[in-house]
């Protein structure tokens, strides 16, 4: 599954949780249990509100009264304390790993900003229970979804924000470090648009990775809203979950080398091209008769090869033929998905290729293997019948597996 985050209003921990749960509501109870297991006091509530903003509807995630009900030891909490708390908590191992991973990224960024080791970094805003709940909740959701993540360009925001370190420019220094190599845009709206928690989550997800470009089917979507009201636009994080649409073909790249020969004997050229064909990076070698300069009969040679090994294949062409020059270029291609198996035919193993075509699979036996079974190249009719029989048996074998 591929999940794309569209940061229309920005991204924060509560917006991430709300967007995921709006798309995957069945994960709500498990997430609440994980947050409680991390040590969240019973008198701090977790609330999920249906929300509408500028004609869009979705979900809000609220840690109730967290600003008034902090546990004293969490107001100015060191990374070491938070890590020890999570290591002791009865959390699933994957959830714990993701939660500590997200906090570690924040600690590393804060440590660089303030010149401290990560164990000595003290969290202020992130040491409070609402942020701990956001990060543990996000860790549970990430662990529950087997997904690759991507994120849109992020809104930069403008102005300053009040923090425990005083007023800081937006984005804050730690957030800037967390979002290196991510794309930004300035939509002219003031205020903090990406919080340190939101930045840590997308950094942990490596969510700036582009998707594969293959056709995708939209499975579901979700909208998670933040607490701020933005002028003229929704403060929303949209989520879209996709699955790749499997096709009969797949894409790759191939190198084509072309040259002409008019001064090499047919016998010698055949031997040379067999050696080129045997090169491990060569996919195919073809030759076509043509007339060259001065009316000479010549041969045009086309070599298809792995693009990453052009130099070695070109060296083989120069070594095995009399050509003085080789032209080459890289091409995109589409090829059918296929696989090779083998079946028994009259006591011998015969290789067969199964190709997945849009209209259904086709099976073809290797002619060389069939000739070994027949033993007589002149018995063409018997070869034809045996090939049909081999293909039929391979189809039956494939059907049984399905």
Q: Which of 209, 244, 279 is the last residue of a domain?
A: 244
Q: Which of 88-92, 128-132, 300-304, 380-384 has the lowest mean pLDDT?
A: 380-384
DSSP assigned state of 389: H
Taking residues 34-62, what's their average pLDDT? 92
> Tokens representing 281?
């990076």
Q: How far apart are CA 85 and CA 71, in angstroms?
A: 13
- What pTM does this model have? 0.63
Residues spanned by the domain of 34: 2-244
Higher-pLDDT residue of 194, 118: 194
Q: Which of 198, 216, 244 is the last residue of a domain?
A: 244
Mean residue pLDDT across the chain: 86
Q: Does residue 71 register a pLDDT over 60?
A: no
pLDDT value of position 212: 56
Residue 68 domain flag: yes
Confidence at 204, pLDDT banded by 50, 70, 90: very high
pLDDT value of position 69: 47
The domain total for the chain is: 3
Q: Are residues 54 and 169 in the same domain?
A: yes
Q: Are residues 42 and 114 in the same domain?
A: yes
Q: Are residues 95 and 167 in the same domain?
A: yes
pLDDT value of position 13: 95
Q: Are residues 160 and 29 in the same domain?
A: yes
Q: Are residues 158 and 264 in the same domain?
A: no
pLDDT value of position 210: 56
Q: Are residues 309 and 222 in the same domain?
A: no
Q: How far apart are CA 223 and CA 237, in angstroms?
A: 6
User: Percent of the chain, pLDDT > 70?
Assistant: 85
Tell me which residue of 393, 351, 354, 389 sits closest to 372, measured CA to CA.
351
Residue 330 domain flag: no
> 304: which strand partners?
256, 284
Q: Which of 66-80, 247-261, 336-350, 369-383 has the lowest mean pLDDT?
A: 66-80
Q: What is the DSSP pairing of strand 2-6 with strand 148-151?
A: parallel
Q: Which of 301, 325, 349 is the last residue of a domain?
A: 325
The CATH number given to whatever domain includes residue 320 is 3.30.70.1380
Confidence at 318, pLDDT banded by 50, 70, 90: very high
Q: How far apart are CA 66 and CA 51, in angstroms?
A: 20
Indicate the helix (H) or strand (E) that contains 33: helix 28-37
Q: How far apart are CA 138 and CA 14, in angstroms?
A: 9
Q: Are residues 159 and 217 in the same domain?
A: yes
Q: Are residues 229 and 258 in the same domain?
A: no
Residue 332 domain flag: no
pLDDT value of position 164: 67
Confidence at 397, pLDDT banded by 50, 70, 90: low
Q: What is the DSSP pairing of strand 166-169 with strand 160-163?
A: antiparallel
Dihedral sign of CA atoms 78, 84, 90, 96 in order: positive
For 76-112, how does the pLDDT look when each residue is reduced to its tens digit (9 = 90+)? 678 888 999 999 999 999 999 999 999 999 889 988 8
Q: Are residues 163 and 274 in the same domain?
A: no
Class of residue 337 by CB neighbours under 10 A (exposed 0-12, middle 13-18, buried 19+): middle
Residue 105 CB contacts under 8 Å (≥ 6 apart), including other chains: 178, 200, 203, 204
Q: What's the per-residue H, E or C state across 148-204?
A: EEEECCEECCECEEEECCEEEECCCHHHHHHCCCCCEECCCCCECCECHHHHHHHHH
Q: How far apart are CA 389 and CA 365, in angstroms?
A: 10
Q: How far apart are CA 323 and CA 269, in angstroms?
A: 11
Q: Are residues 56 and 179 in the same domain?
A: yes
Diameter of the chain measured on Cα atoms: 96
Tell me which residue of 370, 363, 347 sits closest to 396, measured CA to CA.
363
Q: Are residues 282 and 349 in the same domain?
A: no
pLDDT value of position 393: 64
Residue 369 domain flag: yes
DSSP assigned state of 294: G
- Alpha-helical (H) ranges within 196-300 are 196-205, 266-277
Residue 355 domain flag: yes
Residue 376 domain flag: yes
What is the secondary structure of 84-104 as a DSSP string?
Answer: HHHHHS---HHHHHHHHHHHH
Q: Are residues 233 and 291 in the same domain?
A: no
pLDDT value of position 195: 92
Confidence at 70, pLDDT banded by 50, 70, 90: very low
DSSP assigned state of 342: E
């Amino acid at each position: 599954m591929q999940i794309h985050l569209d940061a229309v209003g920005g991204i924060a921990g509560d917006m991430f949780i709300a967007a995921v749960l709006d798309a995957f509501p069945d994960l709500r109870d498990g997430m609440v249990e994980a947050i409680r297991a991390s040590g969240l006091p019973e008198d701090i509530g977790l609330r999920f509100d249906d929300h509408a903003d500028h004609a869009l509807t979705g979900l809000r995630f609220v840690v109730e009264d967290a600003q008034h009900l902090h546990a004293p030891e969490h107001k100015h909490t060191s990374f070491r304390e938070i890590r020890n708390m999570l290591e002791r908590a009865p959390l699933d191992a994957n959830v714990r790993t993701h939660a500590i991973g997200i906090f570690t990224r924040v600690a590393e960024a804060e440590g660089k900003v303030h010149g401290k080791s990560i164990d000595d970094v003290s969290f202020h805003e992130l040491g409070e229970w609402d942020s701990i709940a956001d990060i543990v909740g996000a860790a549970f959701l990430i662990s529950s979804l087997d997904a690759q993540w991507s994120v849109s360009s992020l809104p930069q925001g403008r102005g300053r924000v009040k923090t425990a370190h005083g007023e800081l420019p937006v984005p804050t220094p730690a957030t800037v470090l967390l979002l290196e190599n991510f794309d930004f845009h300035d939509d002219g709206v003031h205020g903090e648009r990406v919080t340190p928690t939101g930045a840590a989550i997308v950094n942990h997800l490596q969510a700036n990775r582009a998707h594969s470009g293959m056709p995708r089917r939209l499975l579901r979507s979700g909208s998670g809203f933040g607490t701020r009201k933005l002028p003229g636009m929704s403060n929303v994080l949209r989520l879209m979950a996709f699955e790749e649409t499997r096709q009969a073909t797949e894409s790759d790249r191939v190198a084509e080398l072309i040259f002409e020969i008019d001064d090499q004997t047919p016998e010698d050229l055949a031997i040379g091209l067999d050696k080129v064909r045997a090169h491990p990076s060569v996919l195919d070698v073809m030759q076509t008769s043509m007339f060259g300069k001065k009316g000479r009969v010549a041969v045009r040679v086309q070599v298809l090869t792995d693009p990453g090994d052009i130099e070695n294949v070109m060296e083989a062409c120069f070594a095995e033929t009399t050509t003085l020059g080789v032209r080459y270029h890289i091409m995109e291609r589409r090829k059918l998905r296929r696989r090779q198996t083998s079946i028994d035919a009259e006591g011998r193993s015969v290789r067969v290729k199964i190709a997945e075509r849009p209209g259904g699979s086709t099976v073809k036996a290797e002619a060389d293997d069939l000739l070994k079974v027949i033993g007589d190249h002149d018995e063409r009719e018997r070869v034809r019948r045996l090939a049909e029989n081999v293909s039929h048996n391979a189809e039956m074998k494939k059907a049984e597996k399905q």
